[in-house]
Amino acid sequence: MQISRSNALQHILNRGSKEVKFPGTRISDYYGTNVFNDEAMRKHLSEEAYLSVKASIQQGEKIDRKIADQVASSMKAWAIEKGATHFTHWFQPLTGATAEKHDSFFVPTEDGKGIESFTGSSLVQQEPDASSFPSGGIRSTFEARGYTAWDPSSPAFIMEIGSGKTLCIPTIFVSYTGEALDNKAPLLKSLHFLETAAVPVCQYFDKNVSRVSATLGWEQEYFLVDEALFHARPDLMLSGRTLVGHAPAKGQQLEDHYFGSIPERTYNFMLDFETECHKLGIPVRTRHNEVAPGQFECAPMFEECNLAVDHNILLMDVMEKVARKHKLRVLFHEKPFAGVNGSGKHNNWSMGTDTGKNLLSPGKTPRTNLQFLTFFVNTIKAVHEGADLLRAAIASASNDHRLGANEAPPAIISVFIGTALRAVLEEIENRVDEGGIDELENADLKLDIHNKIPDLMLDNTDRNRTSPFAFTGNKFEFRAVGSTANCASAMTVLNCIVANQLKAFREEVDGMIKGGEKKDNAILMVLRRYISESKAVLFEGDNYSEEWHKEAAKRGLNNIKTTPEALDQYLTEKANKVFVDNKIFTKRELHARYEVEMEAYAKKIQIEARVYSELVYNYIMPAAVAYQNELLDNITRLKTAGVAETGYRAQLDMVNQISQYINN
C-alpha cells in the first residue's frame, strides 16, 4: 500500500486543474434549460393539457389518457429538440440510490425506416422487474412485476452523459399489489397527510388558506480525494471509508480549513457540477470549505419538499459523474476518515401556505404570532412524542460512526429553541391555567407575547451546532441526517409525526369550542398543556457533554446508539398509530422497511469485515513480517559486530511485539 500511495502522490503532482468554461454571463441565462418546467410546458402544451398538468400538481387530480398522450408528445418534441434520444422512468428504490432503464424514442417502421414515438402510456406507467430490488419480502424472485408511475409534481429533465442525452421522468415505484417499493411514494403520502392536517388549523386564523406544503433546504457535506489516492485504498473503494491506517500529523486541529480559500482544482470541480445542476433546475447557491481537510459543503435555496428530495439525490449523482471528469472521487460516507469530522446532510424544514405565509416565521400582529406559536409548539410536541421514529429515520451503519462523536448531534433527539422563545413558552405556561383565562387577560397575554417575538426574528435565536433538531428563526434544522441518506426517509417521518400531532390538536380545540370555549382561549389552553408535556425535549446546552446524557436519561429521553435498536422503533405500536392508522404504510410495508434496512446494515458490516480481513492478510501481515525480517537481519549484524544485547534490545522487543500481533 505504501508503494501504491507513493505512485498516487506522483500522479497527483503531475496533474493540472481541469479548466471549466462558464456557459453564460449569468446563471439565469441557462438555469433550468434541461427541465420540462412551467415555461417549457406553456410553450409546448395546449392550454387544456397545461391546465390539466397544473391541476394534477396543485390539487392531485388524475390526468386522463387523452391528456397524457398530448403531454407525452409535447415532452418528446421538447426532448428531441434538446438532443435526447432515449427516455427513462427515474425512480428511487430502497437501495439508497436511483434507478433507470433507458428506452429509445426510435421505433422501426414497416418500410425499413423509423420514427420517434413516445405515448401517454409510456409516460404514465412502466414495468421494471420488482424482484431484483430490495422489497423486504413484498416481492419474491418469481413475483417480478412492479410498476413505475409518473409523478407530475416533479418535472422531467434531461440528463447529459458524455455526448448522450436522456429524458428522465420522476416516478414512484410500487409492487403489482400496489405496495410501495421506493422512497417517493411514502413521501408523497406524508406530504398529503401534512396538508390535510395543517389546512384546518390554519383556518383558525385565515379562512383563505386552502393549501399547505412542506419546504426543505438541505445542506450536503462531502469529501473530495484524488482518484489515484482513492484507488490506492481498497477499503475506501469497497466500503466507503478507511478501515485501517495512522492518523495524519496535521488534521483539523488548527481549525484553518473551515471557510478557507477554496483550492483551484476543487473550485473548478464545484463550478462544473454547479453548472450541470443549474441546467437541471437545482438551485445550488452556497459552496464552502468544511471543518475537516478535504471536506466541503454545498446548499441550495429552499424548495417544495418532494422536489427538494429529488434534487438532492440528483445532485449526488451529478457530483459523482463530474468528479470523475476531474480525476477526483466524491465521498458521501458519513465517516470516511477517523480522527476528523464526518459529513452530514442538515435538513431545514418548514411549512408554507398558498397565501404566502411561512407557518414557522413569527408574524407582525398578535393573531399571526398565535398562529406561529400554534405550529411551533405542535412541532415540538410532535418531536417529543415521535423522537424514536425520527431516530429510526436517520439510522444506518455509516451514520452510527458519526452520531455522538463530538462533531455531530448525539443519538438523543432533543430540540433547541433558544432562550428568547423558551421565555415565551414559559410565559404561556405560567399565565394560562387549566381553567383558561378571561377575555381581557387573553388579549393582554397575546399582546405581551407579540411584543417579545418581533425582536426574535431570524437572528435572535443562537445556533446550537450540537442540537439534533434546532429552531433557526423561521425553520427547524434536523441536523442528525447522514450525508449518504435520501432525505425522503427523514422527511416522511417528520411530516407524519407533525401531521398526526396537528390532527390531534384540532380535535382537542374543536371539542373545547363545541363545549362553549372561545377559540383563542381553547387554542392557548391546549398549547399550554403541550408546552408542559414537552418540556423534557427542550435543551439549550451542550449536547456533546456527558452531563446531558445523564440529564436526558432523567428526563426519560431515549439514547438509541445503534442502528438495530433504532430500526426496532418501526415495529412499535407508536409506529402503527402514526403510519398505519394514517395510511402512509400498511403493516406489511412498515415491516418490509424494517427488513430492508436491517439487511442493508448487516451487509455493509459484513462487507467491511471482509475488506478488513483482506487488508490484514494481504497487506498488513506481509508488511509486518517483512519489517520483522529487517529487524532480525539488523539484530544478526549487530551481534556479529559484537554489540552487547542492550544495543539491540529495542529491536528484539519490536520483533516479539510483532509476533504477538500476528499470532493473536
Summarised one tens digit per residue, pLDDT across range 367-423 is: 678 999 999 999 999 999 999 999 999 999 999 999 877 667 889 999 999 988 998
From 58, 349, 379, select the one nearest 198 (Cα to Cα).
379
Alpha-carbon distance of 256 to 321, in angstroms, equals 29
Mean pLDDT of 570-588: 97
pLDDT, tens digit, 9 for 90 and up, residues 111-131: 888 888 999 999 999 988 777
DSSP strand E in 337-381: where?
Answer: 345-353
**All structural domains of the chain with their residue ranges:** 27-182, 190-585, 607-663
Contacts of 271 (CB under 8 A, 6+ apart): 20, 22
What is the DSSP code (8-state) at residue 146?
Answer: E
pLDDT level of residue 458 (50, 70, 90 thresholds): very low
What 3-state DSSP class applies to 344? strand
Alpha-carbon distance of 456 to 451, in angstroms, equals 10
Contact 577, 588 (CB under 8 A): no
- pLDDT above 90: residue 663: no
Alpha-carbon distance of 604 to 396, in angstroms, equals 9
Which residue carries 559484537 as its cell?
Answer: 642
How distant is the alpha carbon of residue 89 from its chain centre? 22
The most confident of 20-34, 298-312, 454-468, 641-655, by mean pLDDT = 298-312
State the DSSP H helix or E strand holding residue 237, giving kind and residue range, or none if neither.
helix 234-239
- Name the phi and psi angles at 26, rounded to 5: -140, 150
pLDDT level of residue 173 (50, 70, 90 thresholds): very high
- pLDDT above 60: residue 308: yes
Alpha-carbon distance of 664 to 662, in angstroms, equals 6
- pLDDT above 60: residue 287: yes
pLDDT given at position 202 = 98
Alpha-carbon distance of 115 to 226, in angstroms, equals 45
Mean pLDDT of 165-193: 95
CB atoms within 10 A of CB 613: 11
User: Which of the pair, 256 or 586, is modelled with greater confidence?
Assistant: 586
pLDDT given at position 440 = 46
Contact 659, 628 (CB under 8 A): yes
Contact 595, 585 (CB under 8 A): no
1-15, 93-107, 533-547, 618-632: the lowest-pLDDT one: 1-15
CB atoms within 10 A of CB 650: 10
Residue type (1 letter), 385 = E
DSSP strand E in 415-482: where?
Answer: 415-416, 469-471, 476-478
Domain range 27-182, CATH class: alpha beta
190-585 classified as CATH 3.30.590.10: yes
Alpha-carbon distance of 361 to 379, in angstroms, equals 13
- pLDDT above 70: residue 451: no
User: Which of the pair, 99 or 129, is modelled with greater confidence?
Assistant: 99
Mean pLDDT of 573-600: 97
583 grid coordinates: 395510511
pLDDT, tens digit, 9 for 90 and up, residues 497-514: 999 999 999 999 999 999
pLDDT level of residue 441 (50, 70, 90 thresholds): low
pLDDT given at position 437 = 56
Alpha-carbon distance of 342 to 328, in angstroms, equals 19
- pLDDT above 80: residue 92: yes
What 3-state DSSP class applies to 194? helix
| Average pLDDT for the chain | 91
DSSP string, 540-598: -S-TTSHHHHHHHHHHT--B--SHHHHHGGGGSHHHIIIIITTTSS-HHHHHHHHHHHH
From 208, 523, 531, select the one nearest 371 (Cα to Cα).
523
pLDDT, tens digit, 9 for 90 and up, residues 242-253: 999 988 888 888
pLDDT more than 90, % of the chain:
75
User: CA 438, 443, 444: angle at the middle one, nearest 5?
Assistant: 100
In Å, what is the CA distance from 408 to each residue of 255, 413, 466, 563? 16, 12, 6, 16
**pTM: predicted TM-score of the whole model, two decimal places:** 0.93
Contacts of 451 (CB under 8 A, 6+ apart): none
In Å, what is the CA distance from 150 to each residue of 153, 172, 420, 556, 600? 9, 7, 46, 44, 27
From 572, 336, 560, 570, select the one nearest 468 (Cα to Cα).
560
pLDDT level of residue 288 (50, 70, 90 thresholds): very high
- pLDDT above 90: residue 538: yes
pLDDT given at position 124 = 92
CB atoms within 10 A of CB 610: 12
pLDDT level of residue 448 (50, 70, 90 thresholds): low
From 185, 267, 306, 288, select the one nearest 20 (Cα to Cα).
267
